[in-house]
Structure 1
Amino acid sequence: MIDFPRMVKVAGTKKDGGIAVLSLAERFPAQPGQFAMLWLPGKGEKPYSFLSENEFGIAPVGEFSNALASLKKGDSVGVRGPYGKGFVIKGRRILLIGGGCGIVPLAFLAKEAKEKGISVTSIAGAKTAKSLSLRSPLASCGSVSCCTDDGSAGRKGFVTNALQDALLLKKYDCVYACGPEKMLRLVAEICAKKNVPCQISMERMMKCGLGICGQCDLDGLLVCRDGPVFEGRELLKKPSFGRSRLAPSGKVTAI
């Protein structure tokens, strides 16, 4: 069955670091890690991760995302979803690793985990202090450390370096990650070497969100249908993971 967008009223938008938080007037039965296709008439449709049951995190980097981030209370946006497989909370102590706007589904996960009495530690990374997002929501759920490329906030360097140090200091039942795909491959490799379970939320271009168009293909897996959350060890078996993807034209391009 083909889903059609349902127009939903906007409750408001607010800026949080490098993202805009888009709040809707209705709630959806979403789980952390799931996504929805957001549609604006005349602008197009793209996938976005749920930040909560009625919120999305939007990184305003192009025409469509800037249009979403500019919506005002009372405006409408088309919504299809929730889609995909979300995170599965395992154990009593978890570690979240987010790069850029990849922190969005992890902030949702942190809230759900805290409500279940699970210890949450988060590492958030961004290019600069100005682009770090959702630090307050993460801090309300547990300890948070930050990494920036230029050292303007927290540790200078990459979240993967901080991950290696964190795994030396404490034992975690599971690591959860979302962000740039090269980063995610490193996270999966580090966790595999340490024999720590790892769940990764993938971000790839999607056109349908239903597993029909094949745009989000990952060596036989469809990110929209089979994911976007996968076990790290499963992804490491895929040659293109962290190395190549399909461009909008369908041509394979290096990441």
Structure 2
Amino acid sequence: MSTHINFRRIVKLVRVVEENPRVKTFWFKDALCSKAKPGQFIMVWIIGVDEIPLSLSTIGDLCSVTVAKVGDATEAMHRLKPDALIGVRGPYGNGFKIVKGRVAVVAGGVGLATLLPLVDKLKDYGCWIEVFLGFRSKHDVFQLARVERAVRPNGAVMIATDDGSIGFKGLVSELFEMHLKRSKPSYDVVYTCGPPAMIRRVYELCEAWNLKIQASLEAYMKCGIGICGSCCIGPYRVCKDGPVFSAPHLRKMPELGLYKRGPDGVKIPV
């Protein structure tokens, strides 16, 4: 087996878990992925279909990616069963920087998957963790027990749903803003991942409240190694300069949460 991140390795799926009707977690073993940092991503080849970027949702002897069914490639991946083969390259990107102290984690939808290894690591460092989770409804919630274990004994988990079926009714960014106004917490850093509009709002709140932020961004990618330029946002390539960015970088991304790039590189309103 190759020991270089840019060479594709063929791995067997050990386990496939249905988290909810739209989201599945795929478990596999890979030596290079087991050494990844929270926030890094891999390029996953669904054989005969396409290659797509996916963040690692578990890092260890067994690794995993958690995938929402949103297009042809992810639909094909959702049809895979244990013992099926996929290809992986990576891990790529810069990952999150661990900050000790009191931290907030703001996750929107399947963006939680990217943040799960981070939450595990923050627990290992003894951080006081407050997690804000946003979902469409109670039926979309996943990995809640894992998050709740990680924040014990001092932290908290707060949930927002669009329909109010569990927790706060509204956007997770609204829940986070309400908490800032009511409690005025002194976070050492805010970590976030989710839909671009959510990330933009969390970033704006962090700027207003003078809070440090680390945001993991998603983008359409072809190569994953900084060559093709398909994932550019502002002056940065998400695959090479990110996918995790802090405030000085986010300030140079005026299109964040307003536009995304399609396969042809054309900006598309979001």
TM bucket (normalised to shorter chain) is over 0.9
Which of residues 143, 153, 162 in structure 2 aligns to 1:149? 162
Offset at residue 151 of structure 1 (A): 0.7
Structure 1 consecutive aligned stretches of length 4 or more whose deviation exceeds 6 Å: none
Residue 124 of structure 1 corresponds to 133
- In 2, the alpha carbon distance for the partners of 1:233 and 1:57 equals 29
Deviation track 1:166-193 (CA, whole Å, cap 9, x = no partner) reads 2241221110000111111110010011
Distance 1:86 1:243 in 2: 24
Matched, 1:24 2:21: no
- For the Cα contact (< 8 Å) 2:162–2:171, is it kept in 1? yes
What is residue 74 of structure 2 aligned with on the other side?
A: 65
CA shift for structure 1 position 2: 9.1
Quote the offset at 1:242 in angstroms: 1.5
Task: Give aligned pairs, total.
Answer: 255
Counterpart-to-counterpart distance in 1, 2:37 and 2:111:
16
| Between 232-241 and 167-176, the greater mean CA deviation after superposition | 232-241
Question: The residue matched to 2:110 in structure 1 has which SS?
Answer: helix
Tell me, in whole angstroms, the C-alpha distance in 1 between the residues paired with 2:144 and 2:158.
9
TM-score, normalised relative to structure 2:
0.90
TM-score, normalising length: structure 1: 0.95
Identical amino acids, percent of aligned pairs: 35
The alpha carbon displacement at 1:31 in A equals 1.0
Map residues 159-178 of structure 1 onto 2, 5 A cutoff. Answer: 159-168=172-181, 169=183, 170-178=185-193
1:3 match: 6
Counterparts in 2 of 1:1-255, with a 5 A limit? 3-17=6-20, 18-27=22-31, 28=33, 29-53=35-59, 54-142=63-151, 143-168=156-181, 169=183, 170-255=185-270
Q: String of CA shifts for 1:20-40, please: whole Å, max 9, x gaps.
A: 111003342111110000002
SS at match of 1:141: helix
Distance 1:141 1:150 in 2: 26
8 Å Cα contact 2:5-2:89 kept in structure 1: no
SS in 1 for 2:179: helix
Letter in 2 for 1:11: V
Letter in 2 for 1:34: Q
Cα distance, 1:132 vs structure 2: 1.8
SS in 2 for 1:140: helix
Query: How far apart, CA to CA, are the structure 2 residues paired with 1:84 and 1:163?
Result: 27
Provide the alpha-carbon RMSD of the alignment. 1.5
User: What residue ranges of structure 1 are gaps of 5+ in the alignment?
Assistant: none
